[in-house]
Amino acid sequence: MNYEYKHISKLVPRHRVPFFISILLTTVLSPVTMGYDSLMMGNLNALPQYLDYFHIRDDAALLGWMSAAVWVGSILSCFLMQQLSDKLGRKKSIVISVIVGLVGVILQSAAKNIAMFSIGRVIIGFGTQLSVAAAPTLISELALPKHRGFLGGLAFTCFQVGALIASGVTYGTRNITTTWAWRIPSIIQCVPALFSIAALVFIPESPRWLISVGQFDKASEVISIAEGIDIDAGMKRVQEIQVVIEEEKARVSSSPWKEITKGVYNWKRLFIMLTQGLVTELAGSSVGTYYFSLLLNQAGVTDVSTVLQVGIIQSSWCLVIALIACFTLDIVGRKPQALFGTTGMIVSFFILGGLIKKYGNSDNVSGSYGAIACMFLFQGFYNLCWTPMNTLYPPEIWPFKLRSAGVTVFKFFNCGFGLFGTFILPIGMSNLGWKFYMLNAGYDIIFLPIIYFVWVETKGVSLETLDELIGCPVVLDEESLSSVELVQVDGRGKSDKQ
């Protein structure tokens, strides 16, 4: 007997495959925007039209600020992430973030001076991070455990799609002699955001958020489609999830910010967020994005066209590796893949530093190509774990009541370290040369024992039982299930006991 879905929008697909395609269209477009911005700025740093217009060619500090300003907005957005996502829902948070980001792109594209350009980039960072926080949370709460690694990882993997598009666009505008050489790439940054708004009409709200606000009929219909089960089984899942949410409410105070530092298990979660933020932003990733052109110059590659061509190849390489990583995360697991990728990053940076020391200022073409190859290897190992893990792991290890707050904490660490790294990197790379890569590799070694001994494996585990891995058990017994009373809340705030 076919069930007539009456509570969710008619535009939401009723079958699993088109349903998840619609979800992915929205969740991946935010990272596309972020990836586009990252590589666009990296390539603009190689364009004379951009450097000369703002008079920053020989000012490493100002060059760093022009790229790093986006992180200031990202940090400021952390103060609203949890409130928007929990109060308004994941979907409305994405809408707000996209609109804010569009305002920033307009200011950046029309910039007449450094101040206007910087304000635009701050606003872009504010909007982008709001979306990048809400979208992965939405998909983690919709995906089945066996698919969560692929779907959650794919969200930020599309960072590389944006990076590839940015590489192609800036290469195409490189020969324009006016400021349109950098304004056109900036304007095109609007396109993913506009597509994201269009795709939102085809997706539902997170069923777990719907359950938390008493909209059980909607939640059961979303779960029925997402898990490919009938509506009665969907309502049973609603009841199971509600048990967990009620248990969380019993031990979580009204404010998640008061609860997030209570108990050894939550401090463990916070430490994991801290270390993931550190390795994501300060393990060397920005060298291959914002300052890839500086690395190529140190390796002896100075021609603008060649730098941009290498950027296109690099973006394609990173995208392929990140896509492979999305598939293997549900097979190999989060921890083994992170350990393998980080070890490869360390080895690659040690070799890169040695090659730049020996061949950086020489005419040896083979030495320069070897240094570039090592950077490609580094980026490959990085994208094998840290690109997909960026949006996958933080939502996984937090319970529902603390999930938005936990993701916000990760984004705060992530953005704070991103701001520090993006601003400091050009100064360090310019002053330390080859030693910079040696120091970075040595620092990355610290993360290996932390990942091995502290992190938890989340492969194939449901969100409702992940607490057990942290040391905070959740019990789903028949007595608990039978004692839960579902009180339906409609859109006007009225309730109806079921």
272-325 tens-digit pLDDT? 999 999 999 888 877 766 556 666 776 677 777 777 788 788 888 988 999 999
Whole-Å CA distances, 42 to 17, 49, 199, 289, 311: 36, 14, 29, 6, 9
CA distance 402 to 270: 11
Whether 36 and 44 have beta carbons less than 8 Å apart is answered as no
CA distance 322 to 152: 12
Whole-Å CA distances, 392 to 89, 155, 257, 398, 450: 19, 8, 22, 12, 19
135-176 tens-digit pLDDT? 888 888 887 777 788 878 887 788 788 888 988 898 899 889
Whether 416 and 75 have beta carbons less than 8 Å apart is answered as yes
| pLDDT grade for 360, boundaries at 50, 70 and 90 | low
Amino acid 362: pLDDT: 66
CA distance 39 to 311: 8
321-335 tens-digit pLDDT? 999 999 899 899 999
Our CA dihedral for 71, 77, 81, 85, rounded to 10 degrees, sits at -110
CA distance 274 to 425: 20
Amino acid 144: pLDDT: 77
Amino acid 146: pLDDT: 79
pTM score? 0.76
Angle value at C-alpha 465, between 384 and 83, nearest 5 degrees: 80
Amino acid 492: pLDDT: 47
Amino acid 415: pLDDT: 87
Whole-Å CA distances, 235 to 16, 215, 312, 315, 444: 17, 11, 48, 44, 47
CA distance 397 to 407: 10
CA distance 391 to 133: 8
Rounded mean pLDDT, 455-460: 91
Q: Which domains does the chain have, with CATH numbers?
A: 16-497 (1.20.1250.20)
